Chain A
Amino acid sequence: MPRTTAKNGKKTAQPALPVGRHGLKLSLPPDADSAPKGAKAASREGLRSVGKSSQRVDGWEKVSGVAQFVDDIEFGPGLLYAALVESPHAHARILRVDTKAAEAVAGVVRVLTGKDFPFKFGLYMKDRYVFAQDRVRFVGEQVAAVVAWDAKTALRAARLVKVDYEELPPILDPMTALEDGADLIHPELGDYPHVPWFFPKAKTNVAHWRKTRKGDAAKGFKDADVVLEDTYTVPRYAHCAIEVHGAVGLYDNSGRLTVWTASQSPFTQRNLFAEALSPLGLTHKDVRVVTPYIGGGFGGKAGVSMEILGAAIAAKVQGHPVKVLWSRAQEFVNTYQRQGVVAKIKLGAKKDGTITALEHKLYWDAGAYVEYGANVVNAAGLSASGPYRVDNLHIDSVCVYTNLPPGGPYRGFGYSEFMFGLESHVTRMAQKLKMDPVEFRRKNAIKEGDILPYGAAMNPTGIQEAIDKVAAEIEWGRAVPSKDARKAVGKSLVLFWKSPAMPPNASSSAFLKFNEDASLNILVSGMELGQGLLTAMAQVASEILSVPVSKIRVETPDTDRNPYEWQTVGSHVTWGCGNAVLKAAVDAREQIFDLVERSLHLDRASLYLEDSAVKSRNKPGWSLPLKSFVIAGIQVEDHTYKGGPIMGRGVFMPEFSSAISDPETGQGGHPNVHYTTGAAGVVVSVDRETGKVRILKATLAVDVGRAINPGLVDQQVIGGLLQGFATALYEDMRFDAKGRIMNANFSDYKIPTALDIPDKTVPIIVEVPQPDGPFGARGVGEHTMIPAAPLIANAVEDAVGARIKSMPVTAEKIALALRKGA
């Protein structure tokens, strides 16, 4: 019997809500007019802004070139520039740092080293240093900084800093790091502070080990008719946002620290800056983070990476703003990289296609510091069943230190990584069972109410509808003969899922202010990464308050002005921040109704908002424009005024979430707020001679619960799929035997150009509402990248019979496999 979370007796954050077409409680506020009741609530009719593909509120700002990015802000002639001294070794002891020659260069203001900042920082585990202390752990790690009056002098002087190292043998892959007696990359691991849901193993290179155990895997494999085991490998990847990371810090003479950053996480940065620099006497109120538009994030600008340098260096050159701007090469090395993974999968199934057991062991190359990356490992460890009903499940997700650059979040947050192996394996199991791979997936796909790997119940999902629509779009089951004898055509269909990975108390908040003309300013700290958050938030408020989107301004955050948001990651802000904006809009609406009731003595229950005016069901034809009173108040009989500026406030916290569970089984908590699910398909042609793959058609159906702006959802599909196809076909980071990256530029690490797009991409939106989402919405963004890699691997095999088990599935690998096969 399917059960929803709400019916389960678990508390959701939204009380008493109307019921939608799926019999679920929807997060639609009970407005007599604007929020349709009952079955109507889940339909598009009756909604005036939500569900419309309105133009982006930041569209012209960006096209006109007015939009400012962090490096575009002018700081005047007092601006200083910092250049970094970086480790040339993957693993070494620092014996001596000699800064004298650099300090003697004209124009150099200060040279800073690890001695100036004996501080650790980190989001989930404090294992990272502002500057290396006694040891360097990856090539490119910051050892010192030179601050000068211009960038070229800083760079020149940085080359004069002399560092003596004692080289240590580097560990460059997780399997070596796990061997008995392996050198320790962090000998003090046991002392590092971390969140309670991490389980580091002191005196090893294991920074975290997420175990998920459900049912009886041994029995499940015994019950299976077919058991299939194999290993899949995924390399590291780079985000390649076109804007590099940058930060400008100003520690003024009053003791105020302001940092302008290219970041997805202004409040998390403020918190970590204040914590790391608290020895200098800074408190949170003294720290301000301003995040103008960013030129792409994809997880790479989440948390705190190089931005700590902007904050810390500023603290040492009080009175002057100081800029740290990464070069493209530094962007590849010293931010976060997507972690590589070795995935060992064992899957058991009955002849009828029922999955009986899954063992999924993931060994992550997490790099030199895992303060954020360990949570990627954690997220995968909770969800590596994929979107399947698996009664007997055994997951080990192991976060392993290596002497490569720090791993971290990248669109998909672990799922893009593990789904390559899992969805490759699922297709191969179907082949073993002589079953249609789509039918096999349909049979095992997770349903609402199914028990998740950690024991809670699955949220509503339209995954079956997504499968049907994708299968129809690629005409699954219909073979396509190639027109060119040298090429073969193949198809594939895979599933995906993902939940936001966030602390259980990650909250969102919003302020909403009316202006004299009844236009609105909405203040949130959800970050506009390009996904269209500002537009979606305007649409949510517009829906409630009947003010057109064109009269709503939503801007990027400033922690002094805008209220709290944890971070813009995990595809959770449309949901979390959207709920906060919805509540702020309802708060404002209720203030309006209160005021009209007490000043004009109208029956409150009869009031509704339409076309930026208050109307009453009891007085047809009567209308009170919002602009007449939202600032000025309402004048009453005795000529006095009632009311005053209308300001809404909204706070959202997922109060049902908890990250605490049994460390040995992962059972007991409710770490994930919901999963977004879907299916994707491709039709490819593969050149039998060269192995070159051409994508003839790509399609992806995602259950977004409710599309606040369907056009922007379509664009997530188009953009995310291409980003994923690039990881599947040609991108990967290459390191030499000493741990030095070999392709830290766009000539050698190729990302797709306009000539590399699929011949056709078809986005499909499925809407099975999320009970606690704003208007039923749940997250989308990362999900569109997740299925890309197994889509390619499976379609290539379908076309030419070559099974590639390591990413990327390059033309070279395919051609070699075909030659070997022939």
Chain B
Amino acid sequence: MRKASITLKLNGVSRRVEVAANDTLLEVLREKLGVKTAKIGCDRGDCGTCTVLMDGRTVRACLVLAMEAEGTRIETVEGLSKNGGTPLQKAFVKRNSFQCGFCAPGVTLSATELLRRNPRPSRHEIQEAIGGNLCRCTGYLPIIEAIEDAAGGKD
């Protein structure tokens, strides 16, 4: 299997890592770069639990080859959580938005992307933005309401 070194910016820090041609970004993040918030849920792009931000856009890390990440900026929840977290994360905590919490990192990144692009989303836009992140516990409502709180500037 061919290997190559890639360099990417992970949560603002430059990282160099050796990857195989068939390694996914998810495998490299979890096994070589210490990122555990991107989870394995289906390994085929259905569930959204491996969502990360690549150059500001959400991607499913299980569907991206690690080599495609060369030179990109990757953001994960580890990066958002310093210094007490973002207003969105605070809204999630306040609303008790998550139950088991397994989908939380993916949902957080999808909602983060939404709020950066559209600071005042409608409820339907929120539902669309997190529509690719499956959650089996919450019925989504406490998550949607927290995103509305964060968008409305409530904290």
* Chain B residues with CB under 8 A of A532: 96, 99
Which residues 484-536 in A have Cβ within 8 Å of B in the complex?
Answer: 529-532
CB-CB nearest in chain A for B135: A242
How close is A531's CB to chain B, nearest CB, in angstroms?
7
Q: Using known A-B contacts A59-B96, A718-B141, A719-B137, determine if residue A244 contacts B101 with beta carbons closer than 8 Å.
A: no
Which of B2-10, B42-50, B53-61, B64-72 lies on the face that meets chain A? B42-50
Q: How many chain-B residues does the 8 Å CB contact rule pick out? A: 49
A72→B102 CA distance, assembly (Å): 11
Q: Which residues of A contact B96 (CB under 8 A)?
A: 53, 55-56, 59, 532, 711-712, 715
Given A63-B104, A66-B81: A328 touches B134 (CB 8 Å cut-off): no
Which residues from B are CB-within-8-Å of A266? Answer: none
Question: Which A residues, 61 to 103, have Cβ-Cβ distances below 8 Å to chain B?
Answer: 61-69, 71-72
* Chain A stretch 212-260: residues in CB contact (< 8 A) with chain B: 239-244
A428-436, A453-461, A751-759: which lies at the interface: A751-759
Further pairs besides A715-B96, A746-B46, A747-B46: 6, Cβ < 8 Å? A61-B101, A293-B100, A295-B41, A754-B131, A755-B128, A757-B140
Which 5 A/B pairs are nearest by Cβ-Cβ distance? A295-B102, A62-B101, A530-B99, A530-B100, A746-B46
User: For A53, what are the chain B residues with a Cβ–Cβ distance below 8 Å?
Assistant: 96
Contact, CB under 8 Å: A63 / B100 = no
Name the residue of chain A whose CB is nearest to the CB of B77: A65
Residue B152 interfacial (CB < 8 Å): no
Q: Does residue A60 face the partner (Cβ distance < 8 Å to B)?
A: yes
Which chain B residues lie closer than 8 Å to A391 at the CB level? none
Assess the A63–B93 pair: CB atoms within 8 A: yes
Chain A CB within 8 A of B138 CB = yes
A722 at interface, CB cutoff 8 A: yes
Most chain A CB atoms below 10 A, which of B40, B97, B104, B143: B40
Interface status of A703 (Cβ within 8 A of chain B): no
Total inter-chain residue pairs, C-beta < 8 Å: 164
Cα distance A61–B99 in the bound complex, in angstroms: 12
Closest to A56 in B: B96
| Partner pick for B77 among A55, A64, A327, A723, CB 8 A cutoff | A64
- List CB contacts (< 8 Å) of A20-71 with chain B: 53, 55-56, 58-69, 71
Other-chain contact of B138, A65, A240, A719 (Cβ < 8 Å) = A719
With contacts A746-B47, A761-B141 taken as known, whether A65 is within 8 angstroms of B81 at the C-beta atoms is: yes
Query: Given the complex of chains A and B, what is the CA–CA distance between A244 and B151 in angstroms?
Result: 33
Q: Which of B102-155 contact A (CB under 8 A)?
A: 102-105, 108, 126-128, 130-144
Max chain B CB contacts within 10 Å: which of A53, A55, A59?
A59
Interface check A368, CB cutoff 8 A: no
Tell whether A753 pairs with B139 under 8 Å between CB atoms, given A55-B94, A530-B101, A746-B46: no
The distance from the CB of B133 to the nearest CB of chain A, in whole angstroms, is 7
Given A65-B77, A328-B41, A746-B47, answer yes or no on A243-B137 (Cβ-Cβ < 8 Å): no
Query: Considering the chains assembled together, what is the distance between the CA atoms of A171 and B136 in angstroms?
Result: 32
Q: Mark A268-281, 1 if CB is under 8 A from B, else 0.
A: 00000000000000
Which residues in B have their C-beta under 8 angstroms from that of A719? 99, 137-139
Q: Determine the chain A residues whose CB is within 8 A of the CB of B139 once the complex forms.
A: 715, 718-723, 757, 761
A295 to B101, CA, bound (A): 7
Q: Which residues of A contact B105 (CB under 8 A)?
A: 65
A69 touches B140 (CB 8 A): no
Contact of B98 among A62, A746, A753 (CB under 8 A): A62
| 0/1 interface trace, chain B 10-43, chain A, CB 8 Å (1 if under) | 0000000000000000000000000011011111
B81 touches A64 (CB 8 A): yes
Of the candidates A56, A243, A529, A761, which one forms a contact with B41 in the assembled complex, judged by CB atoms under 8 Å apart?
A: A243
Q: How large is the interface on A (under 10, 10 to 19, 20 to 34, 35 or more residues)?
A: 35 or more
- Interchain CA distance A62-B85 in the complex, whole Å: 12
Q: Assess the B136–A60 pair: CB atoms within 8 A.
A: no
**Complex Cα gap A66–B136 (Å):** 20
Which B residues are in CB contact (< 8 Å) with A482?
none
Q: Are B94 and A753 in contact (CB under 8 A)?
A: no
Q: Which B residues are CB-close (under 8 A) to A752?
A: 140
Partner of B136, one of A58, A293, A296, A757: A296
A68-B36, A241-B136, A719-B137 given; A328·B44 CB < 8 A? yes
In the bound complex, CA of A56 to CA of B94 (Å): 9
Does chain B have a CB within 8 A of A618? no
Chain A residues with Cβ below 8 Å from B128 are 755
Task: Report if A176 contacts B (CB, 8 A).
Answer: no
List of B residues within 8 angstroms of A61 by Cβ: 101
Contacts of B46 in A (CB 8 A): 328, 745-747
Cβ contacts A738-775/B at 8 Å (1 or 0 each) = 00000001110001111101000100000000000000
Tell me which of A63, A297, A712, A722 contacts B101 (CB under 8 A).
A63
A56 to B46, CA, bound (A): 29
Contact B102 A754 (CB under 8 A): no
Given that A64-B81, A755-B127 are contacting pairs, would A718 and B43 also be in contact in the complex, using a CB cutoff of 8 Å?
no
Q: Is A294 an interface residue (CB 8 A)?
A: yes
> In whole Å, how far is A701's beta carbon from the nearest beta carbon of chain B?
17
Question: Does chain B have a CB within 8 A of A124?
Answer: no
Does A298 make an interface contact (CB < 8 A)?
yes
CB closest chain-B residue, reference A59: B93
Measured CB to CB, the closest approach of chain A to B57, in angstroms, equals 19
Give 19 A-B contacts (CB < 8 Å), ordered by A residue: A59-B96, A60-B85, A62-B101, A63-B98, A65-B105, A69-B39, A71-B40, A72-B39, A240-B136, A241-B136, A529-B99, A715-B138, A723-B136, A746-B47, A752-B140, A754-B143, A755-B128, A757-B139, A757-B140
How far is A62 from B81 in the complex, measured between Cα atoms in Å?
A: 11
Q: Known contacts A719-B137, A751-B134, A753-B134; is A63 also within 8 Å of B92 by CB?
A: yes
Interface hits, A105-134 → B, CB 8 Å? none
Q: Are A64 and B85 in contact (CB under 8 A)?
A: yes
Contact B89 A64 (CB under 8 A): yes
A747 to B44, CA, bound (A): 9
Minimum Cβ distance to chain B for residue A65 (Å):
4
